Structure 1
Amino acid sequence: MKQQRENCKNCGIDFEISIQDAAFYTRMAVLRPTHCYLCRMQRRLAYRNERFLYHRKCDLSKKQIISSFSLDKPFPVYDNEVWWSDDWSALSYGRDFDFTRPFFDQFFELRDRVPRLALQQQKPMENSRYCNCASRNRNCYLVFSTNECEDCYYGSWVNNSRNCIDNLNIEHCELCYECVGCVGCYTLLYSRDCIDCSDSYFLRDCLGCRYCFGCSSLVNREYCFFNEQLSESEYKERVAALDLGSRSVIEYLKNEIPLALGPSIVKSIHGARIENSSGDYLTNCKGALNCFECDSCEDLSYCMCVQNAKSCMDFSYWGGNAELIYESQACGYDIFNLRFCNLCWSGCSDLTYSDHCFASKNCFGCVGLKREKYCILNKQYTPEAYSDLSAKIVEHMKETGEWGEFFPVSKSIYAYNETLAYEQIPVLREVVLKKGWTWIDSTQRSQGSYIGPDVALPENISELDDAVCSKILHCKASNKAYKIIPQELDFYRKLNVPPPELCPDERHLRRLSLRNKRAMWNRECASCNDPIETTYSPDCEEKVYCEPCYRDFVYGANES
């Protein structure tokens, strides 16, 4: 069988289907995709809202709650405790399948009636009410896709960390501020892509460094300033001369350090212990192709933010002992053989076109099930009847052209600009509406009834008093209202950090801009001219090296 080319129905770009891809489609008994992998990713991420939270009431208990669903949603929203209780059953919404109608029409009618969890959280969650897509956190606030953390605030994809504020994609870190893509770091500020670094500022691509300032591509170094080796006393003198509690000084350094160091030399792929893999930010992966932010995975293609998974394709977010997952998102914890699923957790297996199901097996087109088997549209059948009917539905979907496609963006439970799809692939409001997708305007996101004067933050953290925690601030970029909470103020004082003039959403967007998009480019190594695949686009400022050349450069420079 030869490699095939298809034309994406969404963006119109030709894409390839490899022999390996075709074999996986046969294994999963699905048709070849009609969308390219980026459009498939966009479609899945259009069903993931992490950061947009709303005040509303639980539709069963009437208790005031925080939810990822705005008030205009057609389905009931239950407080998490109520949703998990035995006070209701998703089977009560079951219905027969109608072969005179398309599957999706019937599925979405069911979806819009079944109650949903207010937030995607897994216990224990202690004093972490304003967190979504999160598990086992303590004393956390406005962190998303965050697990096993304590005293962390305003972050995304933060894991196993403590006392960290304003970070993106960090793990096993403590006392880190404004860091992106860092692992095992302590008291690290304004840095990116660093491992095992501490007591440092403004680092990039450094490993095992401490007491360094404004440096890049260093390994196991101390007391370096702008990549210059100093004595301990010289280093401390230079750092002490800088007022790092001043906002203007920090902004000056953010601009000055890249100019002083010149274009960064970077490796084509961020990764460790990877074999026959492509993408970016991969760890302990084998045979992971076009994958991003994946750890401990084998034989994956077109996956992102997945851990501990095997033999999966087009899978976004989670994992945790996952195998044979296709075109699904936010599924995890001991899952097997899921096709076209959204938010199916904890021991689910053999599910197809199901949403928001837990510990369920052999289900097709179901919503909100807990520990059920052999269900179609939330109606239970005998194993034999289930097998016969589900096979007939697949044939029906092939006739209607629905089989093999993830849920359409137009039917997402979220507005496009509420979702991670908008973060990864921004689309203008006019284009979104023209495609038949939904959009939420800022006027629909009420920020309360506060009407009052703008509060000016002082330029220096030393000038900020406790009264700021009782005031409403307005973002200098978006004019959104935001606050500084007492724990946050204590952190800024401890690390001598100037208070932010931007709201958490704007700070998050600026950190996102420091990460490459999840798309691959064919380029040449800037050193040896060998072909490389990388997420660094051809117009980026960095000099991109293949791994051997980067290793020679880094370790050669650090030995001199």
Structure 2
Amino acid sequence: MNTERIIETKICKHCHINFDITDRDLEFYDKISPSFSWIKYNIPSPTLCSYCRHQRRLSFRNERYLYKWKSDLTWKDVISMYSPDKLIKFNEQSEWWSDKWNPLDYWLDFDFNEPFFYQFERLFKNIPHSSLLNASNENSEYSNYCSYLKNCYLLFDSSNCEHSHYWYNVWNSTYSLDSIVISSCENIYECIDCINCYNVFFSQNCNWCRDSYFLDNCRGCLNCIGCCNLSNKQYYIDNEFVWKEKYEQSLKKIKNNFIKHKEYYLNKVKNYPKKYAFLIQTENVYWNSMISSKNCYSCFDWIYFEDCKYCSNWSDMKDTYDCESVWIWSSLSYELNASMRADRVLFSFGCWGSNIIYSISSTWNNLFWCVGLHNNESYCILNKQYTK
């Protein structure tokens, strides 16, 4: 990535800062440009800088504000990410996925005399949407952008979790509270960027730690308090070894006046030298909070990225630019939000499948300008079925 050559410097149309287009960027845009009837339609380089593109993607999604409102199909009360003042139809999730309605019934003929976005807006407002964006959750009604949860409350952008509350971007974890960017942890509280930890509290950037408090950038630590930049240590307080008896006495004292000691240790940990970034098993990665990734620039949060730029949240992406919360074997996608198993999906939201362009909440393959298709439809434009 450090061998990229700047081809052009542009001025962002929104914030007016300069940003560069490199030879690698142009190769990517050419690689993902779609072809129809053997004619390639080249995707141009962006007119907004990466920061403004990121803001634009985030402005379209609402995952954390939930409302009580009525389903347009059954009029029963449901929890929804759409506020009552929005002119949007929605169904409760199970209703939306059911065969009680057919998204192909809302099709439009494409009018070449009218701008595309006006037609797409009509379809978007006319068709019902899912009240929340979840999959296979159990007893976790107040969560959003989640999958495979059980007995969870107010989790967002998370997957495979049980008996946990108040999380964001958490994966494969149980019995925990108030944490963000967590993977494979149990019994943790107020933690950030932690992996494979058990019974850890008020800690950040930790891996394989256990029964510890107030840690920062520690690996394989056990029974430690107020430590920073340690690896494979046990019975340490303030980065110094203590005997087991002294550790247990100190821990008892902390628990008797927890708020006071919490403030003391968190302030003390702040003064330790910090590593420039939280990177584990990475190669040629430029940003922060990345694990097992290679050749990535301006990516963060989190694991198994390769040859990506301007991407964040979740895992398993390759050859992808400008994506948010995309995971599970996704590749060759661009300007994509809240999607999974995406291959050659462009300018879309909440989609999974392949060869999807300008679509929302649609699944399967070969879709163009579609909304709400979820019954394995293919070769559709504006929800109208066509032959291949």
Is this a same-fold pair by TM over 0.5? yes
**What amino acid is the match of 2:294?**
K
Contact 2:169 2:314 in 1 (8 A): no
The one-character-per-residue Cα deviations of 1:127-162 (angstroms, maximum 9, x if unpaired) are 111111111111101111111111101111111111
Name the SS of the counterpart of 1:21 in structure 2.
helix
Contact 1:74 1:113 in 2 (8 A): no
* Alignment-derived partner of residue 544 in structure 1: none
Does 2:28 match 1:24? yes
Name the SS of the counterpart of 2:54 in structure 1.
helix
Contact 2:6 2:21 in 1 (8 A): no
Q: Give unmatched runs, 5+ long, in structure 2.
A: 34-42
Aligned positions of 1:95-494 closer than 5 A: 95-123=108-136, 125-244=137-256, 246-255=258-267, 257-258=268-269, 263-333=271-341, 335-345=342-352, 348-359=353-364, 361-370=365-374, 371-383=376-388
Partner Cα separation in structure 1 for residue 67 and residue 180 of structure 2 = 23
Name the SS of the counterpart of 1:135 in structure 2.
strand
Q: CA deviation at 1:2?
A: 5.2
Q: CA deviation at 1:298?
A: 1.7
Contact 2:279 2:291 in 1 (8 A): yes
Partner Cα separation in structure 2 for residue 69 and residue 382 of structure 1 = 34
* Alignment-derived partner of residue 66 in structure 1: 79
Partner Cα separation in structure 2 for residue 306 and residue 190 of structure 1 = 23
Q: CA deviation at 1:265?
A: 2.0
Partner Cα separation in structure 2 for residue 284 and residue 189 of structure 1 = 25
Partner Cα separation in structure 2 for residue 238 and residue 228 of structure 1 = 13
More helix by share: 1
**What amino acid is the match of 1:353?**
Y
Q: Which runs of 4+ in 1 moved over 4 A?
A: none
Name the SS of the counterpart of 1:341 in structure 2.
strand
Partner Cα separation in structure 2 for residue 230 and residue 376 of structure 1 = 68
The one-character-per-residue Cα deviations of 1:462-519 (angstroms, maximum 9, x if unpaired) are xxxxxxxxxxxxxxxxxxxxxxxxxxxxxxxxxxxxxxxxxxxxxxxxxxxxxxxxxx
TM-score, scaled to structure 1: 0.65
Does 2:12 match 1:8? yes
Q: CA deviation at 1:104?
A: 1.1
**What amino acid is the match of 2:144?**
N
Name the SS of the counterpart of 1:20 in structure 2.
helix
Partner Cα separation in structure 1 for residue 305 and residue 255 of structure 2 = 45
**What amino acid is the match of 2:205?**
D
Of 64, 73, 78, which aligns to 1:51? 64
Q: CA deviation at 1:378?
A: 1.1
Partner Cα separation in structure 1 for residue 294 and residue 104 of structure 2 = 41
Pair 2,149 (structure 1): closer, same or farther in 2 beyond 3 Å: closer
Partner Cα separation in structure 2 for residue 11 and residue 119 of structure 1 = 32
More strand by share: 2
Contact 2:326 2:336 in 1 (8 A): no
Q: CA deviation at 1:364?
A: 1.1
Name the SS of the counterpart of 1:217 in structure 2.
coil
Q: Give unmatched runs, 5+ long, in structure 1.
A: 384-560
Partner Cα separation in structure 1 for residue 24 and residue 256 of structure 2 = 53
Q: CA deviation at 1:297?
A: 2.2
Give the root-mean-square deviation of aligned CA atoms.
1.5
Name the SS of the counterpart of 1:15 in structure 2.
strand
Structure whose CA Rg is larger: 1
Contact 2:67 2:82 in 1 (8 A): yes
Partner Cα separation in structure 2 for residue 253 and residue 19 of structure 1 = 48
Q: CA deviation at 1:352?
A: 0.8
Partner Cα separation in structure 2 for residue 92 and residue 264 of structure 1 = 62
* Alignment-derived partner of residue 473 in structure 1: none
Contact 2:318 2:331 in 1 (8 A): yes
TM-score, scaled to structure 2: 0.93
Contact 2:178 2:191 in 1 (8 A): yes
Partner Cα separation in structure 1 for residue 223 and residue 291 of structure 2 = 27
Could you say which structure has the greater relative contact order, defined with CA pairs below 8 angstroms and 6 or more residues apart?
A: 1
Q: CA deviation at 1:100?
A: 2.1
